[in-house]
Amino acid sequence: MSASQPLANSLHRATLDALRRQAPFSAMTEGEVMWLVQHLSVTYFAREAVLLEPSADPPDALFIIKQGTVSGATAEGLTVLQLAAGEMFPLGALLAGRGAANRYIAATDTFCYTLAAADFQALLAMSPEFNDFCTRRIASLLEESQRAVQAEYALALDDDSRFARPLASLIRRAPLCVRPDTPLADALAAMDAARVGSVVVTDAAGAPAGILTLKDVLARVTLAGVPLDMPIEAVMTPHPATLSADLPVADALVLMARQGIHHLPLVSGGKLVGVISEKDIFALRRLSVEGITSALGRTDDPARLPSLTRDIGDLAHSLLAQGMDAENLTAIISSLNDRVTERIIALESETDPALAGLRWCWLALGSEGRMEQTLATDQDNALIFHAADASQHAALLAFAQRVNARLDACGFPLCRGGIMAGNPQWCLSAADWQRQFSEWIDHGSPESLLHASIFFDFRPLTGDAALALDLRAWLNRATQKNPRFLHQMAGNALRNRPPLGVVRDFVLSEDAAHPHTLDLKLNGTTPFVDAARIFALAAGSPQTSTAKRLREAAHTLHIPDAELADWNRAFHFLQLLRLRHQHAQQRTGQTPDNHLDPDTLNPLDRRILKEALRQARKVQARLAMDYKL
């Protein structure tokens, strides 16, 4: 054995140990990683040296950063990547067999391992873990993080994948169904015999035409004195909400929360195949959407509402611990907060004779308008009313101020910027809203752009929704006619750069109130939200959700599916990180916020945070390209 062989073996072992401390090498077999080590070369790059230029030809090698930092910039010079030790590039180019799109420069003195392109392809074929990571980079990291989160909460769940399971898996019996002409007495007897809380009315083709629940029986039959020989179609809820049985359980929970329903017919091929209740989903849980919405619906005393609002937070903690994804979790939180607001509005409007006969609609703005509320949220709302009712402006304003005060008592603080329906500026007729929006669009001042970023996410919450829908249609037409305004919005959005560092991973706040932190909302999710809003306005989309806006924009702008998926995964990871951070603060009695010290993260989540912020830069790069900024 030569003297150099033990030295080579020791260097290989040291390299193997270093690589196996991070993904994806930590999941690969030792033999696979050793094969990789034996095929690597090490190269030194001085600061500002170019490692790789954009090219039409596929790259010759994969780079794995051993030490130092590498920046990736677009052809226009916009930095979109900051890569550190353990990270690889250019994966997309190597996988697709195309040239690199970015220019890679050493931001500091840097050492890189290089793996020849042919050896990279060989390793892809050899190692399933390496292949999965390379082809689903951020998705693979997120899945690993999600497993760690569930281990951290260590809840004794009966099924860790509860929310991803198909709804069909919850069907325990054949659905009870009757025809529309069935006498009520027969339908109720069938419900009693089957010991179920609902009966579905089906048409001749077997499709759900209506539903009747025990709660409906009390209100519509018993208290109303309806004779039992009446056909069930006279008292059923027509056109019930349904879902396909192959959709995930999470979809049912969101729909139940949005519509305040507790029984849901499931269909396959348009025909009824089962009925599930919320109890089927949360059979072992003390808190449920049904319990909260039922309690809200029964509450006539506003003083009871704050405790129910706290229940929403407790339920959100439970769902978070069970592994529900951020998109569905924030939608459920927003839906339940909607129910609180709707109940307050109902209690206040029912006792106010001045509102009788008026046409008005309560508008949800900001994160509530986008159905993206977390555990830390204040009020953002407005009121729109029919121009013919302008003489009742004072009554509407007083009503809105009472609602704002009630929401504040329920834990939704008054907006410090005054963006509330109780502010005379934001309690306007439909015509006045059009004039206000026109002024913002035409002037494009910094204040106008700020207002647009909040108000243009409006969503009708309760009241006459047609007023809001008409305003949305008008707004889409107005913005599409004014590309200058969208250009200004894009320029304004690009001023908020994701806080990625050159020497350090992140650029952290030096603010005395929140030192050594980054703002997960302002600098994390907001770049996605702002870009999605502009894409939606440009496309004339009625969507307000960031994820849905991005999905529609991807179709219109011909954005590849894989790139869109990475954008949405990154956005939802940042949302999930916000929820986890706020949950941890609430458990220790702190007021929840969005200011996270990244040093408190484990190495995996820190790495995903960097990747998520890089995706935010990529979204901004797309925005800059579209508007030539």
Full 3-state SS string of 180-236: CCCEHHHHHHHHHHHCCCEEEEECCCCCEEEEEEHHHHHHHHHCCCCCCCCEHHHCC
pLDDT of residue 80: 66
For residues 113 and 67, what is the distance between their CA atoms, to the nearest angstrom?
A: 9
> How does strand 198-202 pair with strand 177-178?
parallel
The pLDDT tens digits of the residues spanning 243-278 come to 999 998 888 888 887 787 889 999 999 999 999 987
Report the percentage of the chain scoring pLDDT > 90. 52
pLDDT of residue 147: 57
For residues 388 and 628, what is the distance between their CA atoms, to the nearest angstrom?
A: 44
Which is more confident, 161 or 352? 352
For residues 250 and 258, what is the distance between their CA atoms, to the nearest angstrom?
A: 12
443: which residues sit within 8 A by CB, 6+ positions away? none
The pLDDT tens digits of the residues spanning 168-196 come to 878 877 899 999 999 999 999 999 888 88
Q: 489, 534 in Cβ contact below 8 A?
A: yes
Which is more confident, 139 or 224? 224
Q: Is the pLDDT of residue 549 over 90?
A: yes
For residues 582 and 212, what is the distance between their CA atoms, to the nearest angstrom?
A: 40
DSSP state of 521: I
Q: Copy the structure tokens of residue 35.
A: 């094969």
Q: Is the pLDDT of residue 349 over 90?
A: yes
Placement of tokens 């693979």 in the chain: 140
Report the percentage of the chain scoring pLDDT > 70. 91
Amino acid symbol at 411: G
430: which residues sit within 8 A by CB, 6+ positions away? 384, 385, 386, 387, 467, 470, 471
pLDDT of residue 144: 63
For residues 431 and 440, what is the distance between their CA atoms, to the nearest angstrom?
A: 15
Q: What is the largest CA-CA distance in the chain?
A: 100
Per residue, what are the HEC states of 321-332? HCCCCHHHHHHH
Q: Is the pLDDT of residue 388 over 50?
A: yes
For residues 68 and 611, what is the distance between their CA atoms, to the nearest angstrom?
A: 17
Q: 287, 362 in Cβ contact below 8 A?
A: no
The pLDDT tens digits of the residues spanning 564-595 come to 888 998 999 999 899 989 988 887 778 899 99
Task: Give the predicted TM-score (pTM) of the model.
Answer: 0.67
Confidence tier at 308 by pLDDT (50, 70, 90): confident
pLDDT of residue 156: 37
Alpha helix positions (H), 39-90: none
With CA atoms as reference, report the closest residue to 412 among 462, 452, 364, 460. Answer: 364
Confidence tier at 376 by pLDDT (50, 70, 90): confident
Q: 199, 178 in Cβ contact below 8 A?
A: yes
- The residue extents of the domains of the chain are 4-135, 167-282, 304-626
Q: Is the pLDDT of residue 4 over 60?
A: no
β-sheet with 50-52: strand ranges across:
50-52, 103-106, 70-73, 79-83
72: which residues sit within 8 A by CB, 6+ positions away? 79, 80, 81, 82, 83, 89, 102, 103, 104
Most confident segment among 223-237, 247-261, 461-475? 461-475
**Homologous superfamily of the 4-135 domain (CATH):** Jelly Rolls (2.60.120.10)
pLDDT of residue 86: 83
With CA atoms as reference, report the closest residue to 463 among 385, 545, 567, 558. Answer: 385
**Homologous superfamily of the 167-282 domain (CATH):** CBS-domain (3.10.580.10)
For all residues of the chain together, what is the average pLDDT? Answer: 87
With CA atoms as reference, report the closest residue to 459 among 558, 581, 373, 584. Answer: 373
